[in-house]
Structure 1
């Protein structure tokens, strides 16, 4: 998921880099043209801004502050457009550049910042255009106003709809990337992300956090005896039972073939054991049926606690995994939260 977000940022870097090259070349060309026309201030701004764009190309390749540098580029760029539109002896065709503002804003800044950037500069462009180019011909003025206003609204609307749909599609893809296709539970990637969030929350609020690994018993035998279709049914059935007992503050994920992980916020090891025992009893009451034959499904589980058993997810999962296999060796269908040595001492 993080990689997907980085890829999205890289896309914006690539677009911005191309735009910077265009700005550099355009700034050089327009500065020459406007020097010939006697528009010294505009020509000076264009050549300086073109050189600034050239320098910015190297910066945006590696900077972590891409949004700040994008704003540092776009705000002067749009402001120069307004100035070029305002000063005497410029052509009304300069307004064409104003219509690129919504596209550039939404593409480089996203929907929220892009909206406000577009609104401010497009409205400013329309006001300046009316101040500079309106004549005494009332019907022509009305037609001109309608043309530039509706075209500006259309460009903003199209850019807004496109960016909103792009964000929704990106969120959906990220959600799918973090979801196990068979059971609909989160997968290991989403588990890692959720642990970072929940462990930070536990530390900040000074509450315990437990991690459990749950593994279905004799799952290979179910697959071999009844087929993979029934095996998949057993996995989905088990996922639903686990999900039905998972609190909204917790995180449930499928991390292997028949293995599930559960992160429980505000839960000690003993709290987690009590919770898993309730789920284990629910499994006993809820077998799956193959035709008229009842097929029991049970699980073994191991539990670890944040700080007491480790501070990172890999360590906690390793601890829980060791206790899970201790539960398997002890006869299955049980929950263990302490190591063999600790159990002997107690």
Structure 2
């Protein structure tokens, strides 16, 4: 059994603040820096021609900072700082344009970009916290800078802006909320076994890889257990797959009911399960698996007029005594599991012990 090479989905989702992963946000931010920097060069030149020398100078300086940032952000560990700096500065600059006499009569349209960029780069919560105050400030600045209360026509223009800003914020917020829900649902489907609700093979292997890394840094240990339901094929062959599915669900519940919050359990495929027991000594892990073996053997699952009774065999390997990699630990646990099967099944065998009494 090999460890997957793909990225850990759990970590990937945890690092995602929006619909974009960090590498995509970094790429988009660099593109925004390039486009905005080029636009500011053009606007600065036009403002210089129009006689707004201070504003033109500010735009030239901002353009230079953006071009520098475009190359710096490629390897910078402070992505969030660059994003917040860009958004806060950009939104503030948009408000400043509104109060500059004759700078641009359509500058207020940039206010409507505030929620789009905020939610896209920061996600729902941070995006709302940043965009809502700027939207309110933008509408207020527009109202007083163009004297929107002077006539009915000016008031209509103000109300159009306010309505569009509110609707833009509302629609983006609803979209981001639904997107997060859909992503979480897909994530859970990708990480969990649909039958038992336990972690699936890929998720379990990712957890194992993280556990190895954490224990390697801290110097602590853990037990890897591979469990297989004995003679499970007979259940499917004699009682049908529905009975087999119910039996596997029952096994999953028995495993999760006994394990601690720090332990992990997953269905590796078919009737095979994996367990990770954190910070346990070999004798303790053996006793725990013995108790689970007895609980499974004593469990009875009614199915129609029949009763399903199952037993299970366990193989235990410990980190780092029996291996420091997932592959080595799996091989050690598998050998113990095979030894238990050869010894008559319904056994718990741990690495380094040739035979174990029931």
- What's the CA shift for 1:142? 5.8
C-alpha separation in 1, matches of 2:88 and 2:210? 35
Q: Please give the secondary structure, in 2, of the residue aligned with 1:255.
A: strand
Counterparts of 1:302 and 1:266 in 2: how far apart (Å)? 18
Q: Which has the higher contact order (CA 8 A, sep 6+)?
A: 2
CA deviation vs aligned residue, 1:157-205 (integer Å, no higher than 9, x gap): 3322322322232222222211112322101332234345656777898
- Which range moves more in the overlay, 207-216 or 7-16? 7-16
Q: State how far apart, in whole Å, the 1-side matches of 2:132 and 2:66 are.
A: 24
Q: Which residue pairs with 1:235 in the alignment?
A: 248
Q: Give CA deviations for 1:260-289 in whole Å, capped at 9, x if unaligned.
A: 111223432222222222222222222445
1:68 Cα offset (Å): 2.9
> Comparing 49-58 with 255-264, which one deviates more in the overlay?
49-58
Per the alignment, residue 164 of structure 1 pairs with 177
Q: 2:269 is paired with a residue of what secondary structure?
A: coil
Partner in structure 2 of residue 264 of structure 1? 277
CA contact (8 A) 2:228 2:313 kept: yes
Tell me, yes or no, if structure 1 residue 79 matches structure 2 residue 85. no
> What SS does the aligned partner of 1:100 have?
helix
Whether contact under 8 Å (1:287, 1:296) holds in the other structure is yes
The structure with the greater share of residues assigned to helix is: 1
Does the C-alpha gap of structure 1 residues 328 and 195 become closer, same or farther in structure 2, counting only changes over 3 Å?
same
The answer to whether 1:218 aligns with 2:224 is no
Deviation digits for residues 124-163 of structure 1 (CA, Å, limit 9, x no counterpart)? 3234334422266276676565444443333323322322
Partner of 1:191: 204
Change in Cα spacing, 1:293 to 1:167, as seen in structure 2 (3 Å) is closer
Contact residue 92 and residue 129 of structure 1 kept, 8 A: no
- Please state if 1:325 is matched with 2:331: no
Q: Distance in 1 between matches of 2:63 and 2:218?
A: 51
Q: Deviations over 1:226-285 (max 9, x none)?
A: 454444343233223223323333211011222111122343222222222222222222
Shift of 1:21: 4.2
Residue 297 of structure 1 deviates from its aligned partner by 1.5
1:298 maps to 2:311 = yes
Q: Distance in 2 between matches of 1:228 and 1:17?
A: 54
Structure 2 unmatched runs, 5+: 1-6
Q: Would the alpha carbon gap of residues 140 and 62 (structure 1) be closer, same or farther in structure 2, given more than 3 Å must change?
A: same
Structure 1 residues 117 and 293: CA distance shift in structure 2, 3 A: closer
2:62 aligned with 1:46, yes or no?
Answer: no
Deviation at 1:104, TM superposition (A): 0.4
Q: What residue in structure 2 maps to residue 66 of structure 1? A: 79
Write out aligned runs for 1:144-183 (5 A).
Answer: 146-183=159-196
| Number of residue pairs aligned between Structure 1 and Structure 2 | 343
Residue 109 of structure 1, CA deviation = 1.5
1:106 paired with 2:119, answer yes
Unaligned runs of 5+ in 1: none
CA–CA distance in 1 between the matches of 2:225 and 2:190? Answer: 23
Name the SS of the counterpart of 2:321 in structure 1: coil
Q: Offset at 1:301? A: 0.3
Pair 1:286-2:299 in alignment? yes
Query: Which residue does the alignment assign to 2:139?
Result: 126
C-alpha contact 1:101 1:122 (8 A) present in aligned 2: yes
RMSD of the TM alignment (CA)? 3.3
Provide the secondary structure at the position in 2 that maps to 1:78.
helix
